[in-house]
């Protein structure tokens, strides 16, 4: 009953064009935080109102006719079936309306396509199933995965999504940009087609493998803006969100400094307790493996092999290590992981997911001679 009332209220508000009613019943496009997104919002509202107007006129006439020109009311049918003047009018008027719509639309489109005079460039790479960001001006480079809490809940039947803040819209490492700066994006992909969309920025753009696309944004307001991949990219298409944090320049500069330093730090190769190895290993697994091999290591019959009881996973760790680094035609190579992550991941895979090898691997064991490169 309550739902029905809310629905009814929502529909009425929609009819009145009042926009957002309450948080959970968002009805309309959001204005966003860039000039372009505001222009698009205005375009959207303009067309919406034009459609409402045309709808009122056409449906008004239709329903007037439905109520008055009924046989049951004794109305006798007229027999006209042509009227050239009327037909010309209702061809010309819509054409004029379309021209009127095309003008602001063209203006916004031209503005959107002008990527010149940007202050900085970020390379966005879509991957199955996370985003990879590279700041071309200062060498910051990181991956942005769905956060672990969402990762666990969305893979478990019956788990409560409401217990996770920003369920499915949160990442481990958000993209950080400064406000009032024109940020240029070059988008590409290394596997299938993805599409990068943050509604508050006002656009989405496809990331095509082998090619680059470009787009730009200029955010006015500091804040956290969330979006998702919008081109079907496989089984975890719904689980590669985007989080953009826009900061004041000073905060941004501090972030750049901090992040660059962190990036330069060598991984800590000191020994860990078994518990630590397992806990960290699970994190590495959730970021890199779970999309295909699943949360219980069962894989997908016919497509992806199970890790539970797998000869490779539970065999000699050296060959597992080599296998992960080399990749296969189905599996990407995981040489991006460092020795610490390899040790944690392998310990986890060999002693969880239904496997009980019983060993534990320390980072020093898995380190390669050229790991400090």
Asked if 102 touches another protein (CB under 8 A), the answer is yes
Q: Indicate the residue among 29 and 367 with the shorter CB distance to another protein.
A: 29
Instruction: Candidates 9-17, 247-255, 258-266, 279-287: pick the segment binding another protein (CB under 8 A).
Output: 9-17
Please report the DSSP string for 221-263 in residue order: S-EEEEEEE-S--STTGGG--EEEEEE-HHHHHHHHHHHHHHH
Asked if 328 touches another protein (CB under 8 A), the answer is yes
Asked if 245 touches another protein (CB under 8 A), the answer is no
Instruction: Among 149, 153, 278, 367, indicate the residue that binds another protein (CB under 8 A).
Output: 153
Q: Which helix (H) or strand (E) holds 313?
A: helix 311-314
Instruction: Candidates 89-97, 244-252, 254-262, 279-287: pick the segment binding another protein (CB under 8 A).
Output: 89-97
Q: Indicate the residue among 242 and 284 with the shorter CB distance to another protein.
A: 242
Give first-to-last CA distance, the chain, whole Å.
65
The residues in 249-288 that bind another protein, with binding defined as CB under 8 A, are: none
Query: Which has the closest alpha carbon to 117: 221, 216, 205?
Result: 216
- For 142, phi then psi, to 5°, come to -155, 165
As measured in angstroms, the least distance from the Cβ of 279 to another protein is 23
CA angle (303 as vertex; 232, 309 as ends), nearest 5: 130
Q: Indicate the residue among 210 and 358 with the shorter CB distance to another protein.
A: 210
Q: Indicate the residue among 108 and 362 with the shorter CB distance to another protein.
A: 108
Instruction: Candidates 62-70, 270-278, 309-317, 348-356: pick the segment binding another protein (CB under 8 A).
Output: 62-70
Binding mask 188-217 vs another protein (x if CB under 8 A, - otherwise)?
x-xxxx-x-x-x--xxxxx-xxxxxxx---
Asked if 177 touches another protein (CB under 8 A), the answer is no
Instruction: Candidates 60-68, 173-181, 280-288, 309-317: pick the segment binding another protein (CB under 8 A).
Output: 60-68
Asked if 296 touches another protein (CB under 8 A), the answer is no
The size of the interface with another protein (CB under 8 A), counted in residues, is 134
Query: Which has the closest alpha carbon to 193: 205, 208, 203?
Result: 208
**Cα separations in angstroms, 371 against 263, 289, 342, 345, 346:** 14, 22, 12, 17, 17
Task: Supply the DSSP symbol for 60.
Answer: H
Phi-psi label, residue 145: left if phi above 0, alpha if psi -120 to 50, beta otherwise: beta
Task: Answer for the pair 253, 111: CB distance below 8 angstroms, yes or no.
Answer: no
Instruction: Among 231, 282, 321, 341, indicate the residue that binds another protein (CB under 8 A).
Output: 231
Q: Indicate the residue among 79 and 275 with the shorter CB distance to another protein.
A: 79
Query: Which has the closest alpha carbon to 231: 271, 202, 204?
Result: 204
As measured in angstroms, the least distance from the Cβ of 276 to another protein is 29
As measured in angstroms, the least distance from the Cβ of 359 to another protein is 27
Q: Indicate the residue among 128 and 351 with the shorter CB distance to another protein.
A: 128
Quickly tell me which residue has 């024109």 as its tokens: 182
As measured in angstroms, the least distance from the Cβ of 373 to another protein is 9
As measured in angstroms, the least distance from the Cβ of 204 to another protein is 5
Cα–Cα distance, 117 to 120 (Å, whole number): 9
Asked if 321 touches another protein (CB under 8 A), the answer is no
- For 122, phi then psi, to 5°, come to -125, 130
- How many CB atoms are closer than 10 A to CB 168? 18
The residues in 107-136 that bind another protein, with binding defined as CB under 8 A, are: 108-110, 112-113, 115-118, 121, 123, 125, 127-128, 136
**71: Cβ contacts below 8 Å, ≥ 6 apart:** none
Asked if 174 touches another protein (CB under 8 A), the answer is no
């Amino acid at each position: 009953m309550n739902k029905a009332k809310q629905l009814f209220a929502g529909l009425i508000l929609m009819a009145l064009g009042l926009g957002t009613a309450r948080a959970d019943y968002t009805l309309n496009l959001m204005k966003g935080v860039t000039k372009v997104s505001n222009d698009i919002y205005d375009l959207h509202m303009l067309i919406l109102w034009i459609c409402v107007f045309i709808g009122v006129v056409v449906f008004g006439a239709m329903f007037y006719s439905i109520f008055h020109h009924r046989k049951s009311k004794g109305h006798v049918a007229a027999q006209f079936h042509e009227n050239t003047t009327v037909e010309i009018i209702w061809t010309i008027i819509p054409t004029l309306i379309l021209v009127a719509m095309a003008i602001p639309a063209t203006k916004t489109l031209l503005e959107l396509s002008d990527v010149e005079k940007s202050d900085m460039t970020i390379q966005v790479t879509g991957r199955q199933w996370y985003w990879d960001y590279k700041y071309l001006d200062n060498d910051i480079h990181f991956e942005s995965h769905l956060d672990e809490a969402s990762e666990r809940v969305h893979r478990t039947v019956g788990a409560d999504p409401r217990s996770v803040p920003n369920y499915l819209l949160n990442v481990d490492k958000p993209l950080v940009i400064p406000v009032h700066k024109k940020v240029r994006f070059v988008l590409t992909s290394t596997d299938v087609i993805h599409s990068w969309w943050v509604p508050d920025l006002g656009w989405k753009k496809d990331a095509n493998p082998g090619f680059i696309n470009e787009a730009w944004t200029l955010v006015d307001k500091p804040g956290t803006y969330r979006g998702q991949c919008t081109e079907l990219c496989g089984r975890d298409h719904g689980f590669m969100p985007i989080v953009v944090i826009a900061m004041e320049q000073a905060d941004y500069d501090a972030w750049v400094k901090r992040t660059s330093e962190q990036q330069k730090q060598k991984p800590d190769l000191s020994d860990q307790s078994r518990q630590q190895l397992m806990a960290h290993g699970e994190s590495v697994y959730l970021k890199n493996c779970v999309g295909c091999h699943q949360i219980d290591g069962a894989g997908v019959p016919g497509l992806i092999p199970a890790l539970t009881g797998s000869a490779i996973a539970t065999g000699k760790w050296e060959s597992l290590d080599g296998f992960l680094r080399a990749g296969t035609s189905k599996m990407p190579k995981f040489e991006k992981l460092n020795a610490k992550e390899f040790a944690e991941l392998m310990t986890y895979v060999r002693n969880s997911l239904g496997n009980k090898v019983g060993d534990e691997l320390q980072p020093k064991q898995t380190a390669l001679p050229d790991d400090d490169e």
